């Protein structure tokens, strides 16, 4: 994260460097290739982000874009990327 840009998914913690919220906090409607959440749609408030995360984890935390999933992917490690205010 640099200059207030948000690149980490608020729901699953994936960070591929793509800007999800700009420096003004405005959503850029980027669909997360991991959890499938679109920035600005269902992650605007923390309760909502937590609910979406819970559903995603309950459903087996499968990748929205399976081909993008790294071979050495670690769910717990990625969840630790979630910004503290969105956990
Ligand atoms: Zn995500």
Q: Would the pLDDT of 37 be above 90?
A: yes
Q: How far is the CA of 24 from the centre of ligand 1 (A)?
A: 20
Average pLDDT over residues 21-29: 95
pLDDT tens-digit readout, 38-57: 999 999 999 999 999 999 99
Q: How far is the CA of 10 from the centre of ligand 1 (A)?
A: 7
Q: How far is the CA of 47 from the centre of ligand 1 (A)?
A: 15
Structure tokens at 57: 């984890």
User: Quick one: which of 57, 32, 59, 58 has its CA closest to 43?
Assistant: 32
Considering the chain, what is the average pLDDT of its residues? Answer: 95
pLDDT band at 4 (very low <50, low <70, confident <90, very high): confident
Q: How far is the CA of 4 from the centre of ligand 1 (A)?
A: 19
Q: Full-prediction pTM beyond 0.85?
A: yes
Q: Would the pLDDT of 1 be above 60?
A: no
Tell me the C-alpha to C-alpha distance, in Å, between residue 20 and each of 8, 26, 42, 59, 71.
7, 8, 13, 24, 24
Q: How far is the CA of 85 from the centre of ligand 1 (A)?
A: 15
Helix ranges, the chain (H)? 46-58, 75-79
């Amino acid at each position: 994260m640099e200059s207030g840009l948000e690149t980490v998914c608020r729901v699953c913690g994936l960070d591929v460097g793509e800007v999800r919220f700009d420096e003004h906090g405005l959503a850029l409607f980027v669909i997360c290739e991991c959890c499938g959440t679109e920035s600005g749609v269902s992650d605007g408030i923390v309760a909502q982000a937590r609910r979406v995360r819970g559903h995603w984890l309950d459903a087996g935390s499968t990748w929205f874009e399976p081909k993008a999933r790294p071979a050495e992917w670690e769910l717990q490690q990625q969840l630790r990327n979630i910004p503290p205010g969105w956990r």
